[in-house]
Amino acid sequence: MDHLVCFLPGTLALGAHNGLPADHMDLAKELMQTCYQMYVQMETGLSPEIVHFIMHQDSTRDIDVKPADRHNLLRPETVESLFYLYRFTKDPKYQDWGWEILQNFNKYTKVSSGGYTSINNVRDPDYPSPRDKMESFFLGETLKYLYLLFSEDLDLISLDKYVFNTEAHPLPIWPSTE
């Protein structure tokens, strides 16, 4: 499962909020748990780009990561979904999960001279191998969704008045003319 899939819990929650069957929210919560586990099962607490599910009953781990997939690019998809699930459920565990992720970004990817960097190895907390590269989506999406997740103003960019595009830009929802 690619980290990019972790946008889906938020999309499912948004659909359920707007009238799709309630089981969409149930699936959103379950998939959100899977995305969260992609973080907490890594030694740095940061998700790799891709995980493989371990289906053997005698395994002590749920997921495995191949060496070529151990990097973290500071992607927004998981925190985006945490934002949506928190807004719709008000369950503080989604804020707690986001806080853990933010703390691990600070611990393993923050650069002393300013900014953040992608890392090559989420499995090595002693030397995660910084890449000296910060993608623009970290500032434009990841940190924006974290800010909104932690905002006390739940109407800040109301999800009944705005929709976010794939680059986290809020667009107004215009009333129907019918």
pTM of the model: 0.95
pLDDT at site 55? 87
CB 157 within 8 A of CB 144: no
d(CA 133, CA 165): 24
Q: What does the pLDDT look like over 116-155, one tens digit per residue?
A: 999 999 999 999 999 999 999 999 999 999 999 999 999 9
DSSP letters spanning 61-110:
-SEE--GGG--B---SHHHHHHHHHHHHH--THHHHHHHHHHHHHHHHTB
pLDDT at site 60? 81
Q: Which residues are catalytic?
A: 49
* Lowest mean per-residue pLDDT among 7-21, 34-48, 50-64: 50-64
